Amino acid sequence: MHKVASEFAVSNGILKVVDGNPSLLSCTLLPSPVPKVLLCRAQSIQCDFNLLYHRVAMNHEFLYDVLKPVLAVDPYLRSLWGIYSRIRTNEITQDIVLGLNRSDYMLHVQGDLCDTKRTFLANRLQSTVVAAQSDIETQDEAWDSLLIRQVEFNMIACSFCGLAQRIVPQHRISLSLHGISSDLNNRVPDCFSADRFSEALLSACRMYVEDCSRRNLITSNISILVVVGKNEKIFMINEHCLVVFY
């Protein structure tokens, strides 16, 4: 299975760049089991989180009051705040803002569980094959004890949107090698992160063109600048995925 997954990764660009040469990117051979209801819950609140963080980012006074104690002791954040402050002092010529965000979650077990229920959760969550063969709508008291807990909300390090979309077919191939039927294999949800990020960039460009048109500004050559830092060049293929979909 590892050989097949590696060959798939090479042929589909699931790679990193080391010393200027492409190399296999470490990734899971099998998908992680997650209760459907919790996945749907995380998806359903994403727009609300996007709006919340957008409004926070646009509220200068609130940001300063919250971050003031941290700015005194955190050089990295202080540097970011300095960049933000310099930009803010300049005249803002447009009000178009695009946020590309990623929200990370973990499963949390609430309350104490007996050994039987803990075994149930272990079988369903630690064994991908068992989870794939289980009824997707199964409800159990132990299952109901699981909650999603947000680990972090990424507005800068929202990476791997390009490569994440390519991991899904690799996981489906790995499951098929375990004898999982195509019907059950389809329970690995589709991921269109590269498409969605590219569509968002395109939408922002169109809004920018419309805004420039209203201002009678020339917009003949519109470009999207992707800046890849020196330490992030190892993952530059992830950014190239967006160019392909764009």
List b or e across 44-72, with b for residues whose CB sees 16 or more CB atoms inside 10 angstroms: eeeeeebeeeeeeeeeeeeeeeeeeeeee
Burial class from Cβ neighbours inside 10 Å (0-12, 13-18, 19+) for residue 246 reads: middle
Note the pLDDT tens digit of each residue in 144-193: 778 899 999 988 766 788 888 889 999 998 888 888 888 778 888 999 98
Q: What pLDDT, on a 0 to 100 scale, did the predictor assign at position 240?
A: 73
Note the pLDDT tens digit of each residue in 46-83: 999 999 999 999 999 999 999 999 999 999 999 999 99
Between CA 236 and CA 239 the distance in angstroms is: 5
Going by pLDDT thresholds of 50, 70 and 90, the confidence category of residue 34 is confident
> pTM for the complete prediction?
0.80
Note the pLDDT tens digit of each residue in 107-132: 888 777 777 777 777 766 667 777 76
Q: What pLDDT, on a 0 to 100 scale, did the predictor assign at position 162?
A: 84
Q: What pLDDT, on a 0 to 100 scale, did the predictor assign at position 32?
A: 83
Name the average pLDDT for the chain: 83
Q: Give every CB contact of residue 124 below 8 A, 6+ residues apart in sequence.
A: 33, 130, 131, 134, 143
Concatenated DSSP letters for 29-88? SSPPP--HHHHHHHHHTHHHHHHHHHHHHT-HHHHHHHHHHHHTT-HHHHHHHHHHHHHH
Q: What pLDDT, on a 0 to 100 scale, did the predictor assign at position 22?
A: 83
Q: What pLDDT, on a 0 to 100 scale, did the predictor assign at position 16?
A: 83
Between CA 96 and CA 102 the distance in angstroms is: 20
Between CA 202 and CA 243 the distance in angstroms is: 11
Q: What pLDDT, on a 0 to 100 scale, did the predictor assign at position 78?
A: 95
Between CA 215 and CA 14 the distance in angstroms is: 43
Q: What pLDDT, on a 0 to 100 scale, did the predictor assign at position 203?
A: 93
Q: Give every CB contact of residue 49 below 8 A, 6+ residues apart in sequence.
A: 101, 103, 153
Q: What pLDDT, on a 0 to 100 scale, did the predictor assign at position 134?
A: 67
Sign of CA dihedral 31, 36, 37, 40: positive
